[in-house]
Amino acid sequence: MRIAVCLTNTTKVAPWLAGLREALPGTLVEEWAPGAPQADHAIVWAPPQRFLDEQQSLKGIFNIGAGVDALLKLKLPARARVVRIDDGGMASQMAEFVCHALIRHFRELDCYEDDVRNGAWSYRRPRDRADYPVGIMGLGVLGERVARAVAHFEFPVLGWSRTPRAVPGVRGFAGQEQLDEFLRATRVLVCLLPLTRETQDILNARNLARLMPGGYVINVARGAHLVDDDLIALLDSGHLAGAALDVFRTEPLPAEHPFWRHRKITVTPHTSARTLREESIVQIAGKILAMERGEPIAGVVDPQRGY
Ligand code: NAP
Ligand code: GLV
């Protein structure tokens, strides 16, 4: 069996090659270069179209992230199945990140930090968690884990998915027909949707205006879910209280973008849930071996659905 590794951008390739060789003894694992022999499976991040055009024999294309939106924009070899990372240590990172953003807002920790910096010993009136229902868009691998973590802090939790999902402690909503009801019952909105035709620009003026007054937006999915100017207008009008943004339409976020300086926006550099190399290698190697044995595997992407 031959495996082609094609990881572009900032990823360090050597430790992936070493880890995959160790996890799949007897397998040829090579970094792809133009004109390389046909491989059976590929491990990719942001591969060039030329890689996919050349590698027409691929059975599996293993993306080293959860989101496959960029990969699905490319023309893929006809018989290849696209497989995403299923948790692999990302779900608990995402739960930490979202709970931190939520609690920092709910407990007004940024305000305390400002006061302390100005030498002020001040108190704010305690808030009631019942007034801060948290609505999670996307109840998949990451969204469900985040919902459980938020419920642990005794916030009311709502979830919205494409098809109905029963998650203990979560009030479930599904489909376009229940979106408005979900938004109207939400004060803190967490976006954990995959980026698809249906979900692009979903955090727009119409939908964000439906959140409870004083709403807060946590976008940890993809930048193209959010209409940037609509968010700024609703923050400036006072309908929304703030936003924590980890993902952006253009990354790195351009220096001139107003998000950097908006006093109600907290920016982080797409870091809420990082791919963990060791966990991911174990998961991918296990799936390759299962595929070779003809067994079903988790995390196979449906290209029609887009996730
Ligand atoms: P997932 O397991 O595929 O779950 C997706 C969820 O979204 C499912 O509940 C699905 O509904 C729902 N959904 C999809 N389309 C919808 C629609 N049109 N309307 C309503 N609900 C819809 O994905 P995941 O692993 O949780 O990851 C979610 C996204 O997080 C990834 O796609 C990626 O873009 C992003 N991400 C970001 C970071 C970061 O560091 N910022 C890290 C990892 C991932 P059903 O349950 O009905 O299918
Ligand atoms: C990161 O954004 C991922 O999709 O894994």
Strands (E), 138-291: 157-161, 170-174, 188-191, 215-219, 240-245, 265-267
**Counted domains in the chain:** 2
Mutate which of 90, 142, 276, 284 to test ligand 2's pocket (most atoms within 8 Å of Cβ)?
90
Amino acid at site 237: S
Backbone Cα Rg of the chain: 21
Asked whether 299 lines ligand 2 (CB < 6 A), one says: no
What percent of the chain clears pLDDT 90, i.e. is strictly above it?
A: 99
How high is the pLDDT of residue 272?
A: 98
Average pLDDT over residues 109-135: 97
Average pLDDT over residues 38-67: 98
Tally of CB atoms within 10 A around 192:
28
How high is the pLDDT of residue 9?
A: 78
Judgement on whether residues 71 and 177 belong to the same structural domain of the protein = no
Judgement on whether residues 95 and 83 belong to the same structural domain of the protein = no
Q: What is the CA(192)–ligand 1 centre distance, in A?
A: 5
Q: What torsion, rounded to 10 degrees, do the Cα atoms 218, 221, 226, 231 define?
A: 10
Q: What CATH number does the domain containing 242 carry?
A: 3.40.50.720
Ligand 1 atom nearest residue 174's Cα: 20
Ligand 2: residue whose CA is nearest its atom 1: 65
Judgement on whether residues 10 and 81 belong to the same structural domain of the protein = yes
Name the residues annotated as catalytic: 222, 270
pLDDT digit string (tens) for 140-167? Answer: 999 999 999 999 999 999 999 999 999 9
Inter-residue contact 58 to 32 (CB < 8 Å)? no
pLDDT digit string (tens) for 274-306? Answer: 999 999 999 999 999 999 999 999 999 999 999
Inter-residue contact 91 to 141 (CB < 8 Å)? yes
How high is the pLDDT of residue 10?
A: 66
Q: What is the CA(143)–ligand 1 centre distance, in A?
A: 7
**Considering the domain boundaries, does residue 216 fall inside one?**
yes
Query: Which range of residues forms the domain containing residue 57?
Result: 2-88+275-292
Judgement on whether residues 137 and 149 belong to the same structural domain of the protein = yes
Examine the pLDDT at 100 and tell me if it is beyond 90: yes
Average pLDDT over residues 88-98: 98
Judgement on whether residues 237 and 95 belong to the same structural domain of the protein = yes
Average pLDDT over residues 250-275: 98
Q: What is the CA(52)–ligand 1 centre distance, in A?
A: 25
Judgement on whether residues 115 and 236 belong to the same structural domain of the protein = yes
Closest ligand to Cα 276: 2
**Considering the domain boundaries, does residue 194 fall inside one?**
yes
How high is the pLDDT of residue 20?
A: 98
Examine the pLDDT at 11 and tell me if it is beyond 80: no
Judgement on whether residues 230 and 139 belong to the same structural domain of the protein = yes
